[in-house]
Every structure is written in structure tokens, then in C-alpha cells.
Amino acid sequence: MKRVKFYEKLLSEIEADIEIVIVINGNFDQRFVDADRELLEEAGFGAEQDETILLPEKRRLYVGADSIGASDIRAACASAVRALGSKNYKTAKMASYLNHPKCTSVLRAQVEGLLLGGYTFDRYKSKKSDKGLHKIRISLEEYNGFELDIPAVQRTVEKGIISADAVNFVRDIVNTTPDDCYPETMAQIADSIAKEYGLECEILDTERLRDEKMEAMLAVARASRHEPRLIHLSYRPENPVAVVSIVGKGLTYDSGGLSLKPSDFMVTMKADKSGGSAVLGIMRAVAALKLPIELHGFVGAVENMIGGDAYKPDDVLRAKNGKTIEVRNTDAEGRLVLADVLCYAQEKVKADYLFDFATLTGACVVGLGQYTSGVMGWSEEPIQRVLYAADTLSGEMAAKLPFNRYLKKSLKSEVADICNISNTRYGGALTAGIFLGEFIDEHHRQKWAHIDIAGPAFVEHVWGENPVGASGAGVRLMVRLLEKLARGDSH
């Protein structure tokens, strides 16, 4: 699908091949539904969440939503667009959906759902389909009969488009194969974003990484034919209300290194760049939204491979801040890269908030499932900002995983300052987070939150507004957090 646009017209005045109607909470008496009620009941349409039915003779597609809440509407809209993906309809129209006359968050979710549900990744298909919607027109007619504030609605639609486009941009990067997307490629993508949106862009190559004494990151990259890159994008508006740094793990491929992954675990490891890709998408969205937040995005782009020059279990690495790390497993490489990038980010920018995104641990997926990100840190304030932005604002799911003083002992090393894996099989997401916490300086200690997106970043089936493959996890969450911060709102 190419475009969503708001029209200051009634539904009857808008031309389209088909109309999309959302049935809220199984209410067949509602506006826009009553005309086809008998036909829907006869067809056995129960209007369950994301259930769809096409009435071609009426040129309408109905989709169920459990409520008129943003998350349900977003998922329902995505399901409707997917249901029309194999059909020959090119244009669709639908009403606006709000749950309060002064609040447009549900309408934003509607726009996001339409664009996120229309996402396809066909780069590697020899035959590309032209089926599916190209345009969706949203009417000023509203589900509850509310009179719309047209300028506010137009701003909301534009924000929804920017947010969804950034997510789909990230999905494309993550879905791209490791042979076509490696550290230099990510640097090129960052440079193109900078040129398009007027950002500053600095790229550190191997020589400069060595000058910065980032030996942990360099060790992970050593066996790859693709040299590492550290990306620093900066968005500097006039008179910013806050300064924020975001850091992303950009493992363009992770074989596990000499602690080689089993072959079936290596499949989908192109998704290990999801955190770094999310940072690129967030930078793009914030610049497009022109938020009054000074934002710095840092990406550690590396490929973890095997070879005669690979770093080894038993190696001791020295991170940028001088701490030594005993390597006991080369597949715990993301935290080594992040350790150096976090140190670099803190040295370059004294931020009001510091957030990192990483597909860091399978343990987080075991603990929270495939759809939920784990949030960790030393301070409640940034953690609560992330949780509120996830569950209440963006529709992403996140849960706090609490640090405790006992788990730190499991990272003790007899030969170095710290070990890169725990000496216990339990609490792996937390021990990885605690490891990262050792590379957070005193200035940022109460301002940092770590977001483990290993679960939702890449899932091999459709769920909610997300397709098979990359979801763009973290983008909507952080964009909404920054929008709220820009308004001066507390968490």
C-alpha cells in the first residue's frame, strides 16, 4: 500500500473501490454497520478481534475490534489491509475512529495500522505482485459522530504516516540479507538519512575505532571480511527541551563466532541488527516530526564470524573505559559491542536520557515471550517512561525486569574485571543488562534504560499489525516517548 490521506468529505462523497468498516465489540447496530447486519449474521461473522469478511457485492470489507482503544484499532486496520492484499481493489475508504472528541490517538493508531498492515518485503521475489491497496482515503465522518477538529486531525494523520513509514523503513533494513547489508551498508544508510533530513553524521572506521581504544568491539569484528563501523547521527534543533542519546546493537550477522550457533539458531540472525536499525528509524522519524529534542543516535555495526583471526573464549578484552572483560562465550558478542559504544556515546554527549536497544538475549524471549520487550536499568524514572510509551502510547508491549545485587556476583571473573557471561543458566536477560550497567558512568546511571527487543524484533508469523519477519520494534515506542518528553509531560 502506498498512501493514506485524510479527506474533508463524507464517505458518500469519496470515490473508492471498496469501503473498510470496523465492527467495535461485536456491535452490529452501530453506525456504518446496520445496513449489512443481516447479511453479516447470516455469513456467521462474529466480529472477533482481527476477524474479517469481504462482501464483494456491497463493496465492503468488515473487520472486528474488541474495543475502540488504539491497540485494537491499529491491529484491526492492519488485518483489513492484509485481507485485501491478494485482491484487485486499488483504493479504499473508511470513516475516522476516535474514542473522545478531543483525543486523536485512536485515529493515529488507525493510520499506523493501515500502513503497517500494508507492508510487504518482496526484494528477493522474482515475480512481484501489484495486487493490494495503493491508496486509502479517511473521511471526516467519525464512528461516534464526533465533530472533528480538522487541523488537529491532519496533524495526527501526518504523525501516524511518519511513524509508520519509519517502522517500515526499519523492517526493510532488518529483512535484508547479511550478504546485502553489512556494516558499511548500514553506514551508507545512515549517511543517506543525514543528507535527506539535515542531520550530522560521523562514521568511525577500524582505524578510528582503534584510536578510540574500542578493543571489545574490534575483537568481535576481527574475523569478518566486513570491517566494523560506529555510526553517530545527530539531530540538533534550536532551543531543545532535552538531550537524549539512543544506542543500538547493529550485528549485521551473528554466527556465534567460535562458540558457533547450531545451524537452526543461525537462521534469522540477519535480525541481530534490529536495535541499530531501530536507532536509524527513530532518528529519521524525529527529524521528520521536527521535535524540540536534541537526539544522538549511535550504532555499533559489526559482523560476528569465524576464522583464523576470530576472538576466542579465554581472551581478555579491554573496553573503551578501561575495564577488562573475560570472554567465556563468543556468542555473547552484542554486549561487548554495546559496552564500547555506550562508553563512546557517554563520552561524546552528556545526555538527559540514555536508552539502548538490542536483540540481546534468548533468555528475554524465554521470560517474556516473543512479543514483549524487556526493560532494565538502575533507575525507575527512565524505565517508567519506556513502559508508559510502550503500553499506553505506542501499542508496543514491554515489561520491567528488575535488577538485584545478587545477580552481579554471577559475572565475577577470576582473571579480569568482569566476565561476558554469567556462571548460572538463570536470569540471562538480567545478567546481560547488569553487564551493560557496568559501562554506564555516574552521570548517566540514573538516566539509562536498556531495552532487550530479542522477542518482538523478528517473529516468523503474523501478529497484530506486524508481518512475518521484522517488526520494527522500538521505533514507535521511542518516538512516542520523545514526543511526550518534547511536550514536557511527566511519565
Class of domain 3-143: alpha beta
pLDDT of residue 92: 98
Check pLDDT > 80 for residue 47: yes
Which one-letter amino acid corresponds to residue 127?
K
Contact 274, 204 (CB under 8 A): no
Residue 491 pLDDT greater than 70, yes or no: no
DSSP of 152-211: HHHHHHHHHHHHHHHHHHHHHHHHS-TTT--HHHHHHHHHHHHHHHT-EEEEE-HHHHHH
pTM for the whole thing?
Answer: 0.97
Whether residue 293 contacts residue 240, with contact meaning beta carbons closer than 8 Å, is answered with: yes
Residues designated catalytic: 261, 335
pLDDT score of 150 more than 80: yes
What is the separation, in whole angstroms, between the first and last Cα of the chain? 35
Q: For residue 346, what is its C-alpha cell? A: 557517554
Q: Which CATH superfamily is domain 168-486 in?
A: Zn peptidases (3.40.630.10)
> From CA 397, how far away is CA 394, in angstroms rounded?
9
- With cell 485494537, the residue in question is 72
Q: Distance (Å, rounded) from C-alpha 352 to C-alpha 444?
A: 8
Distances (CA, A) of 375 to 199, 236, 384, 389, 486: 28, 27, 9, 12, 22
**Residue pLDDT, tens place only, 436-461:** 999 999 999 999 999 999 999 999 99
Could you tell me which of 409, 408, 413 has the C-alpha nearest to residue 314? 413
pLDDT digits (tens, 9 = 90+) for 311-333: 999 999 999 999 999 999 999 99
Check residue 69 and give its pLDDT.
97
Specify the pLDDT at position 30.
Answer: 82
Q: List the chain domain ranges.
A: 3-143, 168-486
Cell of 445: 546511571
Q: How far apart are CA 466 and CA 395, in angstroms?
A: 11
pLDDT (0 to 100) of residue 490: 66
Mean pLDDT of 13-29: 95
Convert the pLDDT of each residue in 344-388 to its tens digit: 999 999 999 999 999 999 999 999 999 999 999 999 999 999 999
pLDDT value at 31 more than 90:
no
The C-alpha cell that represents 65 in the structure block: 475490534
**pLDDT band at residue 1 using 50, 70 and 90 as cut-offs:** low
Of 311, 314, 188, 199, residue with least CA distance to 250: 188
Say which residues have a Cβ less than 8 Å from residue 181's Cβ, sequence separation at least 6. Answer: 173, 252, 270, 273
Kind plus residue range of the DSSP H or E element containing 353? strand 353-358
303, β-bridge pairs? 253
Task: State the helix-helix crossing angle for 150-175 and 105-117, rounded to 10 degrees.
Answer: 30
- 102-142 tens-digit pLDDT: 999 999 999 999 999 999 999 999 998 888 999 999 999 99
Q: Three-state SS for 245?
A: strand
State mean pLDDT over 277-289: 98
Beta-carbon contacts of residue 332 (< 8 Å; ≥ 6 apart): 420, 421, 432
Output Rg (C-alpha) for the chain, integer angstroms.
23
pLDDT score recorded for residue 34 = 81
> Can you give the pLDDT at residue 169?
98
Closest by Cα among 321, 230, 319, 212 to 276: 230
